[in-house]
């Protein structure tokens, strides 16, 4: 196996759940709707946001605010957009040094590396400035692919981009969104990481405590 496919949030970087909740509520207030109602509606729309159903971030915020009874102005939408984009930048800058070292070690050993992530448009836009971007040969963002894990299409898209068969791949993730059994069903050697979260405690397959432990798979 010479292909490493990895999840992003709660795998390479912390999930930032508390930060997300705070920013989502703040966006609701900025958009002129009840913050708690906006936060619930925003969370409930996650799959649609993952596959880009509402378009870009400003359009998405407007749709959800309107669902909550709001009629935000362009200025309000712009302010809320800035809050969410700042959150994405902060989260993407939070990769532990050992994780970056591990990605570098796989790259130096000749492995191809792919990112397979359920993310919304604003995170995708911030990705090129992330310190992790330099290590990835292919990125499969759900908002761009139009499919989100556990849909096999997003994994297959990564394999196609890397010229690999699923059986050539190691897949590592925290287990959110049913990603681990979906990867395993395609024939990938699938590993759960507990470094930032344990989102699939039912997983019976290989498990590591930190992303850096993946270096045991290098010769």
Tokens coding 6 = 């990895």
Q: What is the pLDDT of residue 17?
A: 86
Q: Please report the DSSP string for 66-87 in residue order.
A: HHTT----HHHHHHHHHHHHHH
- What's the CA gap between 165 and 39, in Å, rounded? 40
Q: What is the mean pLDDT of residues 140-155?
A: 95
pLDDT of residue 190: 98
pLDDT digits (tens, 9 = 90+) for 168-211: 999 999 999 999 999 999 999 999 999 999 999 999 999 999 99
| C-alpha to C-alpha distance for 120 and 108, rounded to whole angstroms | 30
Angstrom distances, CA of residue 6 to CA of 30, 32, 127: 35, 38, 15
Confidence of residue 16 (pLDDT cuts 50, 70, 90): confident
Please give the residue that has the higher pLDDT: either 121 or 51. 51
The structure tokens listed for 48 are: 């649609």
Mean pLDDT value of segment 160-166: 97
The answer, yes or no, to whether the previous bond of 150 is cis (omega within 30 of 0) is: yes
Scan for tokens 């649609």, then name that residue: 48
Instruction: Tell me: pLDDT of 122 over 90.
Output: no
d(C-alpha 62, C-alpha 73), whole Å: 9
DSSP 13: B
Residue 1 has pLDDT above 80, yes or no: no
37 contact partners, CB below 8 Å, separation of at least 6: 28, 68
Q: Is the pLDDT of residue 117 over 70?
A: yes
Residue 217, pLDDT score: 85
Given a cut of 70, whether residue 142 has pLDDT beyond it is yes
59: confidence class by pLDDT, cuts 50, 70, 90:
very high
């Amino acid at each position: 196996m010479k292909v490493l496919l990895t999840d992003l949030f709660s795998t390479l970087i912390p999930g930032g759940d508390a930060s997300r909740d705070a920013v989502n509520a703040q966006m609701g207030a900025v958009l002129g709707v009840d913050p708690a109602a906006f936060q619930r509606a925003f969370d409930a729309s996650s799959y649609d946001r993952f596959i880009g159903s509402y378009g870009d971030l400003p359009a998405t915020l407007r749709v959800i605010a309107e669902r909550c009874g709001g009629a935000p102005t362009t200025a309000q939408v712009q302010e809320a957009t800035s809050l969410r984009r700042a959150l994405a930048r902060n989260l993407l800058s939070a990769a532990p040094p050992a994780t970056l070292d591990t990605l570098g070690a796989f790259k130096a050993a000749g492995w191809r590396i792919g990112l397979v992530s359920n993310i919304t448009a604003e995170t995708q836009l911030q990705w090129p400035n992330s310190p992790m971007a330099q290590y990835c040969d292919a990125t499969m963002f759900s908002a761009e692919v139009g499919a989100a894990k556990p849909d096999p299409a997003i994994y297959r898209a990564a394999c196609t981009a890397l010229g690999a068969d699923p059986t050539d791949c190691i897949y590592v993730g925290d287990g959110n969104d049913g990603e681990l059994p979906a990867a395993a069903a395609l024939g990938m050697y699938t590993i759960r990481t507990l470094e930032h979260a344990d989102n699939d405690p039912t997983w019976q397959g290989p498990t590591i405590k930190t992303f850096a432990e993946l270096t045991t798979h290098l010769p």
